[in-house]
Amino acid sequence: MPQPDLTLTPAGPALAPRYDDPRAGHRPAASGTTDHRPTNHRPAAHSGPAAPRPLPRNPYLRLFALPGTRGFTAGNLMARMPSGMFGISAVIMIAGRYDSYALAGAVTATGLAAGALTAPWIARQVDRRGQARVAVPAAAYMALGQLLLLLCVHGEAPVWTLFLITATTATAPNMGGMSRARWAHLLRDDPDALHTANAFEQALDELCFMLGPVLAAFLCSLLFPEAGTLVAAALLLGGALLLTRQRATEPPIAPRTAAGSPLRTRGMVPLLAVFLATGAIFGSMEVVALAFVDGPVAGPVLALQAAGSCAAGLLYGRARRTARLRTCLAALTVLMAMPLLAATTGSLLALAGGLLVAGMATAPTMLTGMGLVQRLTPASQLNEGMTLAVTALLAGVAAGSATGGWAADHAPFPAFGFLVPIAAASLALALCATTGVGRRIPART
């Protein structure tokens, strides 16, 4: 029996009858004539509609066969890159002008703390008003604040102005969350493709983590100390404009539910606790690895962890089956022991390999966790739910950084600090196992 062709719709593959399908009947003739051809006659190539192009076999290429996906992905990548640039740019800029890394770190920490408070509110506005109406003003205000900070630092303004500007202009929207919300809308009827899209988004996160600091340091050293901040502000605003121009892929504003905050959704608070502990893994690993290497090669060595995560995430996105969050956290706990074992040898090359291997469980864990957030959160609160997850993750990064720094300063032996990421991973696994996160997820409303 003839098979129907596959044509591409915004929601995924759809079935469309061919003219040689007996169930489709005959092709209507032009007005005023009678078509005497049999129903199973294939029309000539010049007289019939163009045959739809076959879908690529690669699942990632199939994602970008959807109309508008390339445009919003390019804009999102532009706007997401500054997340890895603003911090190191501010440190270089402030430390160079005020000759104080302590001040630079305090100002940067103030921005992170303020962003953790404002991000859920901004995400709630995105859910209520739409991405186009909120993302651009929020990004423009953030970019303006960075320019004001730049001018104050350049003019050596009083220290309190740096804290004030940083705290009051930390309004960067969650660009990754908005991109994931678009994929969730486009692929709502295709869970396998949505899994691939989430894997791609996680790989972009790792790419920005690797390239953002390197790009900022390169610009600040090659041009002038303020160059990193200028480029990051331009990328944020330009990327937000490009993203929001893609109106066809923007999720419609869903009607508000009576559920209130996503925190009231059953299972969300335990999942956020797991994200908090998971963030502590990354924050502590970064600090203890930098303290252990302590040299110009520290950045490239640490970037290998992100490289391993990026590669594993892309491979995981091609899998047809996904693992449970508990399984991913168990693998993460085991692999976090690799840097500890490598550090005991005292070999920098061994540590680089250990970090590469340790990173391979990061992306699968994160995209599995974000998939649970998408399933738990009502559609009308999707951006807010994902932003809460990111906020919990960043809070864990801050706590892990502080704990890792203390362990590095008080280490009884050089590799002692690498015990902190293992402890954080064990805590995340214990929280997941004892609270039952991911066992029974209600259907998203």
Above 60 in pLDDT, residue 87?
yes
The residue among 168 and 24 whose pLDDT is bigger is: 168
Q: What average pLDDT score do residues 116-142 get? A: 84
Q: Which residue has the tokens 């391993």?
A: 308
Above 80 in pLDDT, residue 229?
yes
What distance in Å separates the CA atoms of residue 163 and residue 362, rounded to the nearest whole number?
33
Kindly report, residue by residue over 332-352, the tens digit of the pLDDT. Answer: 999 998 888 888 887 888 888
Give the SS3 label for residue 14. strand
Q: CA-based Rg of the chain, rounded to a whole angstrom?
A: 25
Above 80 in pLDDT, residue 214?
no
What is the band of 443 on the pLDDT scale with cuts at 50, 70, 90? very low
Above 70 in pLDDT, residue 177?
yes
Supply the pLDDT for residue 344.
85
CATH of domain 70-253: 1.20.1250
Q: What average pLDDT score do residues 59-64 get? A: 78
Above 70 in pLDDT, residue 176?
yes
Q: What average pLDDT score do residues 6-11 get? A: 39
Classify burial at 427, counting beta carbons within 10 Å of its beta carbon; exposed 0-12, middle 13-18, buried 19 or more: buried
- Ordered by start, the domain boundaries in the chain are 70-253, 261-440
Supply the pLDDT for residue 154.
87
Kindly report, residue by residue over 380-423, the tens digit of the pLDDT. Answer: 677 777 778 888 887 887 777 777 777 877 777 777 888 889 99
Give the SS3 label for residue 215. helix
For CA atoms 22, 25, 30, 35, the dihedral sign is: positive
b/e per residue 112-141 (b: at least 16 CB within 10 A): bebbbebbbebbbbbbbebbbebbbebbbb
Q: What are 62's two structure tokens? A: 């199939």
What distance in Å separates the CA atoms of residue 312 and residue 293, rounded to the nearest whole number?
25
Supply the pLDDT for residue 392.
85
Place domain 261-440 in its CATH homologous superfamily. MFS general substrate transporter like domains (1.20.1250.20)
70-253 against 261-440: fold identical: yes
Q: What is the pTM of this model?
A: 0.67
The closest of 333, 304, 349 to 419, measured between CA atoms, is 333
Tell me the backbone φ, ψ of residue 324, rounded to 5 degrees: -75, 155
What is the band of 3 on the pLDDT scale with cuts at 50, 70, 90? very low
3-class SS letters over 263-331: HHCCCHHHHHHHHHHHHHHHHHHHHHHHHHHCCCCHHHHHHHHHHHHHHHHHHHHCCCCCCCHHHHHHH
Q: What are 51's two structure tokens? A: 């045959």
Q: What average pLDDT score do residues 288-296 get? A: 72
Mean pLDDT computed over every residue of the chain: 76
Q: What average pLDDT score do residues 258-286 get? A: 79
